[in-house]
Chains A and B, each alone.
Chain A
Amino acid sequence: MPNNMPAPILQVENLVKNYGDVQAVRGVSFCVEEGEVFGLLGPNGAGKTTTVEILEGLRHPDGGSVRVCGLDPQQNARELKHEIGASLQSTALPDKLRVMEALRLFAGFYKRRRDPEDLLKRFGLEEKRNTYYSKLSGGQKQRLALAMALVNDPRVLFFDEPTAGLDPQVRREIYDIIEELRRDKKTILMTTHYIEEAERLCDRVAIVDHGKVIALGSPRELKQRSGGKTRIEVKLARPVTNGALQRLEGVADAREVDGTYVLHTQRPPQAIVSLVKHLEAEGNELVSLEIATPSLEDVFIEMTGRRLRD
């Protein structure tokens, strides 16, 4: 490449998408560089899937602009589809299609393709080559979906909730696969609502809520943004007046989230001591107390006042 600074492989600028009266995506912007694993992290309904499906050319945006491999998914849909690979949400294959047939069939759609045999091996599906799709387990179906996303040796991969609905052990299998792709310097845009997944797999994460990017950076940067503060979660016998906890010594900020008080502090011992003193003075009681190390969850709580959960 003559250019020292290649254009980002994915460019999203001020993207807007409405479904009727519902604004699913409200001005999302981000870029993904070649070889990067980029995560869209957010609760269900945050607009992650819509964003990804616009990039894949499955949906029309209502505003903003989008470039994938330098192409406009609306104008150059067919060309683009040779460059991307995707594992979708809420999708399936015909029940009576065999694993190997599916890989061969889909490989046949593309100009550039990888050997289905290799993919079968790499994704641990060799023994299942002649199994009907309907007979596969959830984890096997997902492994097949990821293998199928790679049949055309794509420049960009889109993984929409790659581990949703899988049990923890199977989820770790999928993590291993994605980590291997990351080592191979594949460009991946993935969505997830699992914090652990975003922290572990992604080079950079955009936290998305209500159709907007509320924070963007590497997991480490994002965690530092909350100042390396520790999170203390307490349940109390009686509610406390607003702001009372906020003023305690050692507490950087406090807020109520779903009936739990979430305190952030840089000096946990001091915060706890002052909290207990305060409660004694008020005649209130501590029902439970949890201390959590900083995670992307803190960023989300700080930005939205809500938890990022299923």
Chain B
Amino acid sequence: MRNFLSLTRMRIQLALRNKMFFFFSVIFPLGMFFVYSGIFAKSHPRGVKFFLGPVIALNVMGSFWGLSAMLVMFREHGILRRFHVTPVTATDMLASSILANYVLTLPTVFVELLFARLIFHVNTFGDPLALLFLVTVGTISFASLGLVVASITNTMQETQVLNQLIWLPLIFLSGATLPMGYLPKSAQNISVFLPATYLVSGLQNAVFSSFPVRRILVQLVALAVWALLSFFVAAQLFRWEPEVKVPRRAKLWAAATILPFFFFGVWESRNRQMLDQAQAAFRAVDEPANTNPAPKSAPSMRVVPNTNRASPQP
């Protein structure tokens, strides 16, 4: 436990001294926040609130990128070997990188909420507990994904290619960039198999639709199961030595981490709860609920309900 904490401190120190980290973990997410809020939502409070879910999701998901690159760099440079001759364990190494990442993500999320309130006059953020749980489970799960990526790639180049391949579908097919309501039906059908969709959906439900924790349990459980499995696999496949290559079984192990979202995806394809909630939220941007009357000014977001989608249940 002591080693885990001192490693966590080291990781935080190193991150704060790293310009790349600053760009990707602070400047980039805040930049996205302003793009979404100012341009997509045209500074309209309900629009800003609607996009807070995707913005926070992008912020949280970004963890996987940095963690995979960092771990591979540590391995390639022989830094991990040095830790290997000490009593430090693989779990210490991996868990500390996740905790450090979590500690560094929280303030950015907080600043995003603060800006939403101060600059864009968003007054409520739904259930704070639901939001906290989602950010926590989300960070741990996507950080673990990064650790799995690091465990099945040998070089930094391979890692970056795989990161790109994972990142693009995750952000475009999950509602993290284009709202789910804009996506064609075929894309929606795929989206329910992606972990990012669960994070975006959970965050949007929590922040925009003010769902309490019990109504985002599916998302929380799906992400938590995935986080545990990914972390376990990353620890199993952990390599200290740069010249030890990815064993063949590693690909199978890594493939196994997809399983939870395969099952949740099949289930979600049937009851379509998440997709319906996304549609409802999407429509509600311009048609506010009675409890929260919108200003009489012209709706700032042109909403195009997805016509591909067969009559949604009320």
Chain B interface residues (CB < 8 Å from chain A): 2-3, 6-7, 10, 13-14, 17-18, 74, 77-79, 81-82, 84-89, 240-242
**Contact at B85–A93, with CB atoms within 8 Å?**
no
For the complex, count residues of A whose C-beta is within 8 A of B.
23
* A110 to B7 alpha-carbon distance, docked (Å): 13
Which B residues are in CB contact (< 8 Å) with A168?
none
Q: A58-B241, A96-B18 are in contact. Are A90 and B87 (CB under 8 A)?
A: no
Q: A58-B85, A84-B85, A97-B10 are in contact. Are A92 and B240 (CB under 8 A)?
A: no
**How many CB-defined contacts (below 8 Å) exist between A and B?**
60
Q: A92-B82, A96-B17 are in contact. Are A58 and B87 (CB under 8 A)?
A: no
Which B residues are in CB contact (< 8 Å) with A84?
85
Partner of B78, one of A56, A81, A90: A90
Which B residues are in CB contact (< 8 Å) with A56?
85
**Contact at B77–A92, with CB atoms within 8 Å?**
yes
**Contact at B82–A91, with CB atoms within 8 Å?**
yes
Q: How far is the CB of A153 from chain B (nearest CB, A)?
A: 14
Which A residues are in CB contact (< 8 Å) with B88?
109
What are 20 A-B pairs with beta-carbon distances under 8 A?
A: A56-B85, A57-B85, A58-B81, A58-B241, A78-B87, A81-B87, A84-B85, A86-B85, A88-B81, A90-B78, A90-B242, A91-B82, A96-B13, A97-B14, A101-B13, A108-B2, A108-B6, A109-B3, A109-B87, A110-B87
Q: A101-B10, A105-B10, A108-B3 are in contact. Are A91 and B87 (CB under 8 A)?
A: no
Which B residues are in CB contact (< 8 Å) with A106?
86
Q: A58-B84, A81-B86 are in contact. Are A93 and B79 (CB under 8 A)?
A: yes
Additional A-B contacts beyond A78-B87, A92-B77 (16; CB < 8 A): A56-B85, A57-B85, A58-B85, A58-B241, A81-B85, A81-B86, A90-B78, A91-B81, A93-B82, A94-B79, A97-B10, A97-B14, A105-B10, A108-B2, A110-B87, A148-B82
Q: How far is the CB of A216 from chain B (nearest CB, A)?
A: 26
* A292 to B81 alpha-carbon distance, docked (Å): 41
* A91 to B240 alpha-carbon distance, docked (Å): 11
Output the nearest chain B residue to A56 by Cβ-Cβ distance: B85
**Contact at A105–B78, with CB atoms within 8 Å?**
no
Which A residues are in CB contact (< 8 Å) with B84?
58
Output the nearest chain A residue to B244 by Cβ-Cβ distance: A59
Within 8 A of B (CB), among A54-107: 56-58, 78, 81-82, 84, 86, 88, 90-94, 96-97, 101, 105-106
**Contact at A92–B10, with CB atoms within 8 Å?**
no
Which A residues are in CB contact (< 8 Å) with B74?
94
**Contact at A105–B6, with CB atoms within 8 Å?**
yes
Q: A58-B241, A96-B14 are in contact. Are A82 and B87 (CB under 8 A)?
A: yes
**Contact at B78–A88, with CB atoms within 8 Å?**
yes
* A97 to B9 alpha-carbon distance, docked (Å): 11
* A81 to B81 alpha-carbon distance, docked (Å): 13
Output the nearest chain A residue to B76 by Cβ-Cβ distance: A92
Q: How far is the CB of A226 from chain B (nearest CB, A)?
A: 37
Which A residues are in CB contact (< 8 Å) with B18?
96
**Contact at A58–B240, with CB atoms within 8 Å?**
yes
* A93 to B10 alpha-carbon distance, docked (Å): 11
* A78 to B79 alpha-carbon distance, docked (Å): 19
Output the nearest chain B residue to A133 by Cβ-Cβ distance: B79
* A107 to B277 alpha-carbon distance, docked (Å): 53
